[in-house]
Chains A and B, each alone.
Chain A
Amino acid sequence: MADFIELAYLVAAVLFIVGLKRLASPATARNGNFLSAVGMLIAIVATLFDRQIVSFQWIVVGGMIGSALGLWMARAVKMTAMPQMVGILNGFGGGASQLVAAAVWHRLSQTGVLLPTDTAVSIYASTLIGGVTFSGSMIAAGKLQEIIPGRPVLFRFQHLLNLILLVAGAGMGAFLLISPGHPGLFIAMNVMALVLGVMLVIPIGGADMPVVICLLNSYSGLAAATTGFVIANHGLIISGALVGASGIILTQIMCRAMNRSFANVLFGGFGAQVGVAGDHRGLAARGIRETTAEDAALMLGYARSLIVAPGYGLAVAQAQHQVRNLADLLEKRGVTVKYAIHPVAGRMPGHMNVLLAEANVPYTQLYDLDDINPEFERTDVVLVVGANDVVNPAARNSPNSPIYGMPILDVDKARNVIVLKRSMNPGFAGIENELFYNEKTFMLFGDAKKSLTALASEVKEL
């Protein structure tokens, strides 16, 4: 029977891998997710045959509560709130790992048998990683939901305190290895892990949350893997490693897209710094060209090609459907429409793609940075909606700019640029955008949703 269960876990792991492989294309992705879920079901059913399990009622109670809550969350969540949702899910994964470690520790400490060293090390690792993942994710989700202020919370000796917490947590684990027992010490270690999770996330600003969510995603995988070490289960280790790897890759992608080192995101307290002022006067003297919906619609309606560059401002204005509507009208007039998606356009990796997919934009029109950048030169009009830093040519041209070196969408290379913007206020980082003063750029001020609706009705009139 034990062999049968182990084989079932292997089947589950294979299904997870095949499922992830099928995420390589939007056409096969849904099927891949289904296969992955089947793998999970096989693993759960197989575990019910585990001989260590003597009663099922509590498993059923916990499982029903969890399933109901999970299903409700998945149904109710808005697509704009997806980063919080993923954050909360990460947290529950970490919390489960921490609880399993605590339960195993408690049971073994009652038997009076000395813990084998490798089990003990695994338990302490699971406690630390699981605890940090749980509390860190909840704080990150709170910041994203704006229950907790998004600005970085910084104070003196913060990093030193974090280091002390980490060393103390590990030190307690080491002490418990030599001198088993001491439930008080084990509880203190759990508390310390939770405090450390909070401390690691509060100094990070709201704009950096995409990186944090990716990192915590990775931790939730590592937490599952450490649980696998605690109960010596291969299935858990393989699955945890897969998720850990996924989180690490996404963290790297996000850091590269923001032109920041990993250490800088974790310790920088970015967003607390006041943006480097720079020389705005030279730019402002060049003046801007303001346009009306009527003129802009004319430009759009008689273009051959259009690229839309959306930013998070689009999602904030809830204007995805208006963009799609305008694009539909233009396509009927023979304009080719593409969407240029910067990796940090949304609030988590791929977020903007999901928001546009929700508005029924076909995924074949969504292009990432590397694919779309060579296209701008050949494009008649670019429509920038609610994006700022990710289209700022200063990232290429001004070595003094704080965003210098960040990969951007080269929208300034297109023949004409229309920027939809609320006002001339510089963005979150306080960096002036050269694009707005470019002679090819036309500014259409106002709420993105209203501007897009106005553009659509003007295009209809043409």
Chain B
Amino acid sequence: MSEGLVILLVIFVLAMFVGFEVITKVPSTLHTPLMSGSNAISGITIIGSMVVAGMGATTLATVFGVIAVAFAMINVVGGYAVTDRMLQMFKRKPEAER
């Protein structure tokens, strides 16, 4: 196992712990927006997708890359937009009837 992989594993494990600490503090009221919002974060795969779509290696790799960019972007834009749509409904006091 190379040194590079070890460092990546260290980062992964520590980030998991940070995740546990932060997420346990999210109240159950917000668990649905938490899921859609964290979903948007997992759209970070967009980074890898962009690189393979743009490096112009082989045609097949580019095709895969473009589809991956589209998929990841659905995840990112859809995730953040729908989370925002939900969160704006959570209000302390009811507003006057629309």
Binding site for B on A (CB under 8 A): 9, 12-13, 16-17, 19-21, 23-27, 29-30, 32-34, 36-37, 40, 43-44, 47-48, 50, 52-56, 58-59, 61-63, 65-67, 69-71, 73-75, 77, 79, 82, 85-86, 89-90, 92-93, 95-97, 99-100, 102-104, 106-107, 110, 116-118, 213-214, 217, 220-221, 223-225, 227-250, 253, 324, 328, 341, 343, 346, 348-351, 353-354, 357-358, 360-364, 366, 368
B70 and A65: CB pair below 8 A? yes
Residues of B within 8 A of A52 (CB): 51, 54-55
B77 and A17: CB pair below 8 A? no
Chain B residue, CB-CB nearest to A76: B82
A52-B54, A74-B85, A100-B52 known; A21 and B22 CB under 8 Å?
Answer: yes
A354 and B12: CB pair below 8 A? no
Residues of B within 8 A of A102 (CB): 64
Residues of B within 8 A of A67 (CB): 73-74, 76-77
Given A48-B50, A53-B50; 13 other pairs, CB 8 A cutoff:
A20-B41, A26-B87, A58-B54, A66-B70, A70-B79, A71-B77, A90-B42, A100-B45, A103-B53, A103-B62, A224-B43, A228-B48, A357-B89
A71 and B81: CB pair below 8 A? yes
Which of B28, B38, B50 meets A353, CB within 8 Å? Answer: B28
Which of A37, A59, A106 meets B54, CB within 8 Å? Answer: A59
CB-defined A-B contacts under 8 Å, sample of 6: A44-B46, A62-B53, A82-B82, A93-B45, A349-B31, A350-B28
Which of A29, A62, A233, A250 meets B47, CB within 8 Å? Answer: A233
How far is it, in angstroms, between the C-alpha of A188 and the C-alpha of B87 when the chains are bound? 43
Binding site for A on B (CB under 8 A): 1-2, 4-5, 8, 11-13, 15-20, 22-58, 60-62, 64-95
Which of A221, A227, A354, A360 meets B32, CB within 8 Å? Answer: A354
Residues of B within 8 A of A242 (CB): 15, 18-19, 22-23, 38, 41
A44-B47, A245-B16 known; A100 and B65 CB under 8 Å?
Answer: yes
A93 and B71: CB pair below 8 A? yes
A37 and B80: CB pair below 8 A? yes
Main secondary structure of the interface of B (DSSP, over half): helix
B38 and A54: CB pair below 8 A? no
A62 and B68: CB pair below 8 A? yes
Residues of B within 8 A of A224 (CB): 42-45
Q: Distance (Å) between the CB of A333 and the closest chain B CB?
A: 16
Chain B residue, CB-CB nearest to A54: B56
Q: Distance (Å) between the CB of A187 and the closest chain B CB?
A: 11
A244 and B19: CB pair below 8 A? yes
B26 and A23: CB pair below 8 A? yes
B75 and A236: CB pair below 8 A? no
How far is it, in angstroms, between the C-alpha of A23 and the C-alpha of B90 when the chains are bound? 12
How far is it, in angstroms, between the C-alpha of A54 and the C-alpha of B81 when the chains are bound? 30
How far is it, in angstroms, between the C-alpha of A82 and the C-alpha of B82 when the chains are bound? 9
How far is it, in angstroms, between the C-alpha of A147 and the C-alpha of B88 when the chains are bound? 30
How many pairs of residues, A versus B, come closer than 8 Å at their CB atoms?
Answer: 402
A75 and B81: CB pair below 8 A? yes
Main secondary structure of the interface of A (DSSP, over half): helix
B82 and A106: CB pair below 8 A? no
A89 and B78: CB pair below 8 A? yes
Chain B residue, CB-CB nearest to A133: B42
How far is it, in angstroms, between the C-alpha of A228 and the C-alpha of B72 when the chains are bound? 14
Residues of B within 8 A of A250 (CB): 31, 34-35
B48 and A233: CB pair below 8 A? yes
How far is it, in angstroms, between the C-alpha of A344 and the C-alpha of B52 when the chains are bound? 41
Which of A82, A243, A360, A368 meets B27, CB within 8 Å? Answer: A368
B32 and A82: CB pair below 8 A? yes
A235 and B44: CB pair below 8 A? yes
Q: Distance (Å) between the CB of B77 and the closest chain A CB?
A: 3
Closest 8 CB pairs of A and B: A66-B73, A245-B19, A350-B31, A62-B69, A70-B78, A70-B77, A74-B81, A53-B54
Residues of B within 8 A of A350 (CB): 28-35
How far is it, in angstroms, between the C-alpha of A364 and the C-alpha of B44 when the chains are bound? 33
Residues of A within 8 A of B45 (CB): 93, 96-97, 100, 223-224, 227, 236
Which of B22, B73, B80, B87 meets A20, CB within 8 Å? Answer: B22
Chain B residue, CB-CB nearest to A32: B37
How far is it, in angstroms, between the C-alpha of A214 and the C-alpha of B94 when the chains are bound? 30
Which of A107, A221, A228 meets B58, CB within 8 Å? Answer: A107
A52-B54, A245-B16, A354-B32 known; A89 and B74 CB under 8 Å?
Answer: yes
Q: Distance (Å) between the CB of A442 and the closest chain B CB?
A: 28
Q: Distance (Å) between the CB of A31 and the closest chain B CB?
A: 9
How far is it, in angstroms, between the C-alpha of A96 and the C-alpha of B73 when the chains are bound? 9
A103 and B64: CB pair below 8 A? yes
A230 and B58: CB pair below 8 A? no
